[in-house]
Structure 1
Amino acid sequence: MFKMIRIYVLIPLLLSAGLLLNMVSAGNGTGEVVELNIEGVIGPATDDYIERALQTAAESRAELVVIKMDTPGGLDTAMRGIVKNISNSAVPVASFVTPTGARAASAGTYILYASHIAAMAPGTNLGAATPVQIGGGAAPAKTDKAQDKNKANDADKSDKQPIAAADDAMKRKLVNDAVAYIRGLAQLHGRNEAWAEKAVREGASLPAGDALKMKVIDIIATGMGDLLKQIDGREVSVQGQKRILHTDGLTIRLLEPDWRSRFLSVITNPTIAYILMLIGIYGLILEFSNPGAIVPGTVGAISILIALYAFQLLPVNYAGMGLILLGVALMVGEAFEPSFGILGIGGVIAFVIGSVILIDTDVPGFDIDISVIIIFTVISALIFILVIGMAIRARRRPVVSGLEEMIGGEAVVKDDFDRKGMVSIHSELWQAVSDRPLHKGQSVKVTGISGLTLEVEPHNTSIEEKE
């Protein structure tokens, strides 16, 4: 009986212990580390990749996500999206600047500050986080000597002061916003706020060793294994809750960008988006000028829709896009109404200027290659001015062959007839109809064709047909 009682007591205890272990396992993760990679310029595709990867890591209840990073920076919108995803992640995130020689410049510095763990490999650096102004770079801070020199020249530049003041005000807004943003990230994870501000205001940079001494980062690690050993047992705050990391000896699972992120990476390349837009314009113009061709219209519609989607994610200057469309319209106008080159030259100039200013940022890696602009300017001029112009001129020429060529031609009546008879034209006999009586040898004009019957009317004069 006592044995039965013990069994009934032990069974609930064992079930409770098993449930508790499952809860702990669920809280601590599945015993794996998810590895992500950011290489090169940070853009919309990078933001999409990190967002999807963090969702996957959360669904698989991973213990940690490690973002290996080597970047010169990127777009502000993409960087802020990544920071939001990291801050709201249910899985702790460690940013690791690696391998030796890598950097986390500009946008990479913000991502490093936003991560739960900030790590760097020896021989790496971070910083230079001054925001790049849309349409131009932010000016560096002026030294006292430069300020004195500027004061001495103020009298000569009084007419430029309103413009300079407005420009300086915009730069101050950008810098102050960036300073507040990175200081907030530093406070969130207990990192060096003063140096973060210096990185923004002065574009300061630090090597890994100095960054560790100044509490800008948490760890210097030689590799993934070393990183996981050093952070094992470290406490981090995830969504406001404390969590102890258990990372030593965990398996590492690499998550590569999926097809969507790779496709997005291709089409959000400004040069690719620019080419797609022009292909779309060419295709639609060719379709409208030759209705029923189908292929140009289909390719053009798909290309221009993809380009518009890409431009939605990029910092586009719509004045530049307007100038490109104006340039195309002027070149087409030159083809329809020759103006001794005035419309064509104006169209080429508008096209080039619009192409240069289309992407409204100075962030490296987000500009359109000038050689591509030159090539497509020449192609556009040839297509719209020469090819379409030749096609229009050919269409306006009188018909010199076929049945239509006989309209307006001169025929000779073979025999007298009242309403219907035979006429000779181009040494051929044709049936003809006329609303007036006609006589043999009379010269008539062909006014229309109905099937194999000519519609004719008499000239004022007549000639005798030569036998």
Structure 2
Amino acid sequence: MAFVRTGLIGLLLFVLMAGTGAISAQPSASDAPGVREVPIVGPIGPATSAFVHDELAAAAQANTDLIILRLDTPGGLDGAMRDIVKAILASSVPVAAYVAPGGARAASAGTYILYASHIAAMAPATNLGAATPVSIGGDSKPTSPAPSDSPDNEAEGREAPADDATAKRRKAVNDAVAYIRSLAEQRGRNADWAEKAVREGVSLSARAALDANVIDLIAANTTELLAALDGRRVDTAAGPQQLNVAGAAIEQREPGWQTELLSVITNPTVAYLLFMIGIYGLILEGLNPGTAVPGVVGAISLLCALFAFQVLPVNYAGLALIALGAGLMIAEMFAPSFGILGLGGVAAFVFGSIMLMDTDVPGFEIPFGLIGGLAVASALLLFGIVYLFLRSRREKIQTGHAGLIGSRCVSLTDFEHEGRVLLHGESWLAQSPTPVARDDQLIVTDAEGLKVFVRPAGPADTTIHTGNASARRPKPRS
């Protein structure tokens, strides 16, 4: 057992050293080209906002001339959209939002991002708009028309208070209108149409958007877009800049596997299913304490769902999952569950590490090899503990009444029903179904209180379990 433990600890230290070496061996980033194209495809969630934020920060550090946000999105979460807008407004690198390719759209949250960008462009056969905010749970009642200023309507309003759901929706719509109008005024675009896109959910084609001063230009592809932008001056957070991007090399940036994985979790359908699994898992664990599986799966699913709904920021969700994983692995040592708690802990640790350590800051990258190595080492340590636990269950019990069963003892006197025997160096009251002679070898079949039940030892009873020296070798009867 000590050898197995030493081996497991050595393996864990080896993985840690190998992972540390992997960190130091990370290659340095190459010089970035003049233009970076960053895709925003599909629903916008926390993973997308983190990806765009990191790309804008990396572009600023690399002195990139232009960032192209290629949009094809049906919308997304309000919090994630606002995080992207804040990153664009604070960017020292010019940002061009480009709805492409043909057939793409920038609906709902995509419209806000388009309005916030320094340059707004669309490819032919694309559209934008339908920016009315919608709650995740749906709206119970439609928005009521705005009240007029007549005294009759004011009196009627005092007599019939507005429904709470309608009032909340009106507040959300008014907040969204003010937000998109502020973006339109910041970039000098059509604020009246932006308000209609929020209040009435209207949309525009690329040509109509250009005619209505919603976008700056139409380009069939990125080469044509760069040619049209060359020489244009834009105002960024670092001051006015002139674009010199005609014929510039374009670096295609794609989301990493972490972003892709987190995007799957933040998909509305998956997030809702995770939320329900989490709730029902905790309920089932509460109704059947000790089952472990529903509780472990429910806790992990609920934390992932809270991250997907942006109730928990990505760093808090990752930290909570890592803490949950460590707690479950520790619980496995004190309350063995045949690996259920431990495996759940390893899974929570891996997901939490992916969320918490998703960074592209040079010098601070944490390779997946280290996370995977720690997970494998933890799993091996877990399996080692389970193996030792199962092996201990197969060993004979050495204490208590159960430890006496099967032990060999020696009769101290002749007796027919009850008498004294020498067991483990002590005199015990024994009961036998057959007559017993002095120095007979006996086997304990049961124990009750301070009395043991015995039977004569047979040829198959070869193992000696007593500490009495005289009983270690059967004596022939005279």
In the superposition, the TM-score normalised over structure 2's length comes to 0.55
Local SS of the residue matching 2:207: helix
Aligned partners of 1:31 and 1:62 also within 8 Å: yes
- 1:56 offset after TM fit, Å? 1.4
Distance 2:167 2:418 in 1: 95
Partner of 1:356: none
- Pick closer, same or farther for the CA change 1:181–1:192 going to 2, 3 Å: same
Between the aligned partners of 1:279 and 1:258, the Cα distance in structure 2 is 32
SS at match of 2:198: helix
- Give SS of 1:48's match: helix
Paired positions, count? 305
Mapped partners of 1:169, 1:178: distance in 2: 14
* Corresponding residue number in structure 1 for 2:429: 420
**CA distance in 2: counterparts of 1:432 and 1:67, whole angstroms:** 80
Is 1:128–1:203's contact at 8 Å kept on the other side of the alignment? yes
Q: Report if aligned partners of 1:448, 1:454 keep a CA contact under 8 Å in 2.
A: no
**Aligned 8 A contact 1:42 1:75 in 2:** yes
CA contact (8 A) 1:132 1:138 kept: no
Q: Is the 8 A contact 1:102 1:125 kept in 2?
A: yes
Q: For each residue in 1:328-366, what CA deviation from the matched residue of structure 2 results, as whole angstroms up to 9, or x when unmatched?
A: xxxxxxxxxxxxxxxxxxxxxxxxxxxxxxxxxxxxxxx
Post-superposition offset of 1:262: 2.5
Aligned positions of 1:43-442 closer than 5 A = 43-137=45-139, 162=161, 164-239=162-237, 241-269=239-267, 270-271=271-272, 273-274=274-275, 277=278, 289=290, 304-305=299-300, 307-314=302-309, 414-415=416-417, 417=419, 420-424=429-433
**Deviation of the 1:264 alpha carbon:** 2.1
- CA deviations on 1:404-454 (whole Å, 9 max, x unpaired) are 9x9xxxxxx9435477343239xxx86599xxxxxxxxxxxx74588xx34
Residues 196/168 of structure 1: CA separation in 2 closer, same or farther (3 Å cut): same
1:136 shift after superposition:
2.0
Q: 1:133 to 1:54 in 2, by over 3 A?
A: same
In the alignment, the residues of structure 1 paired with residue 79 and residue 70 of structure 2 have an alpha-carbon distance, to the nearest angstrom, of: 20
Q: Using a 3 Å threshold, how does the CA distance of structure 1 residues 49 and 315 change in structure 2: closer, same or farther?
A: closer
The whole-number CA distance in structure 2 between the counterparts of 1:217 and 1:275 is 41
Q: Which has the higher contact order (CA 8 A, sep 6+)?
A: 2
Q: Distance in 2 between matches of 1:134 and 1:95?
A: 26
State the one-letter code of the partner of 2:177: V
Partner Cα separation in structure 2 for residue 432 and residue 37 of structure 1 = 76
Contact 1:118 1:219 in 2 (8 A): yes
1:308 maps to amino acid: L
Identity %: 44
Query: SS of 2:433's equivalent?
Result: strand
Shift of residue 198 of structure 1?
0.6
C-alpha distance in 1, partners of 2:254/2:280?
31
Paired position in structure 2 for 1:386: none
Is contact 1:422–1:431 with CA below 8 Å preserved after alignment? no
Alignment deviations for residues 220-274 of structure 1 (CA, whole Å, 9 cap, x no partner): 1101111001111111000161111111100000111123322322333405634
CA distance in 2, matches of 1:171, 1:287: 41
Q: 1:251 to 1:275 in 2, by over 3 A?
A: farther
1:158-185 Cα offsets, whole Å, 9 max, x none, are 99x54x5322221111111001100000
Deviation at 1:100, TM superposition (A): 1.1
**2:459 paired residue number:** none
- Does the residue aligned with 1:289 lie in a helix, a strand or coil? coil
Structure 2 unmatched runs, 5+: 1-30, 313-400, 406-414, 421-427, 435-441, 455-478
Q: 1:37 is paired with a residue of what secondary structure?
A: strand
Q: Following TM superposition, by how much is the alpha carbon of 1:77 offset from its aligned partner in structure 2, in angstroms?
A: 0.5
Secondary structure of 2:201's counterpart equals coil
Over 3 Å counting, the alpha-carbon distance change for 1:168 and 1:271 in structure 2 is closer
Q: Secondary structure at the match of 1:67?
A: strand
Question: CA–CA distance in 1 between the matches of 2:85 and 2:125?
Answer: 25
Cα distance between partner residues in 1 of 2:260 and 2:101: 23
Q: Contact 2:279–2:302 (CA<8 Å) still a contact in 1?
A: no
Greater shift, 29-38 or 213-222, is seen at 29-38
Q: Which amino acid letter does the alignment assign opposite residue 86 of structure 1?
A: I
In the aligned structure 2, how far is the partner of 1:264 from the partner of 1:91? 27
Deviates more, 1:106-115 or 1:250-259: 250-259
Q: Take 1:169 and 1:288, find their aligned partners in 2: how far apart are those partners?
A: 43
What's the CA shift string for 1:17-51, capped at 9, x where partnerless?
Answer: xxxxxxxxxxxx97521011111111111101101
- Relative to 1, partners in 2 of residues 1:432 and 1:422: Cα closer, same or farther, differing over 3 Å? farther
How do 1:19-38 residues align onto structure 2 when only pairs under 5 Å count? 32-38=34-40
1-side partners of 2:136 and 2:272: how far apart?
Answer: 18
Change (3 A) 1:449 1:125: farther
**SS of the residue aligned with 2:69?**
strand
Matched position secondary structure for 2:82:
helix
CA distance in 2, matches of 1:432, 1:309: 55
Provide the rounded CA distance (Å) in 2 between the counterparts of 1:76 and 1:59.
28
- AA matched with 1:197: E
* Alpha-carbon distance, 1:105 to partner: 0.6
Q: Indicate the RMSD between aligned Cα atoms, in angstroms.
A: 4.2
Q: Which residue identity does 1:221 align to in structure 2? A: A
Structure 2 Cα separation of the partners of residues 141 and 286 of structure 1? 42
Counterpart of 2:299 in structure 1: which amino acid? I
Q: What's the CA shift for 1:118?
A: 0.3
Structure 1, unpaired ranges of 5+: 1-28, 291-295, 318-401, 407-412, 434-445, 456-467
1:432–1:94 CA distance, 2 compared to 1 (3 A): closer
Instruction: Tell me the distance in 2 between the aligned counterparts of 1:227 and 1:250.
Output: 11
TM-score w.r.t. length of structure 1: 0.56
Deviation at 1:300, TM superposition (A): 6.7
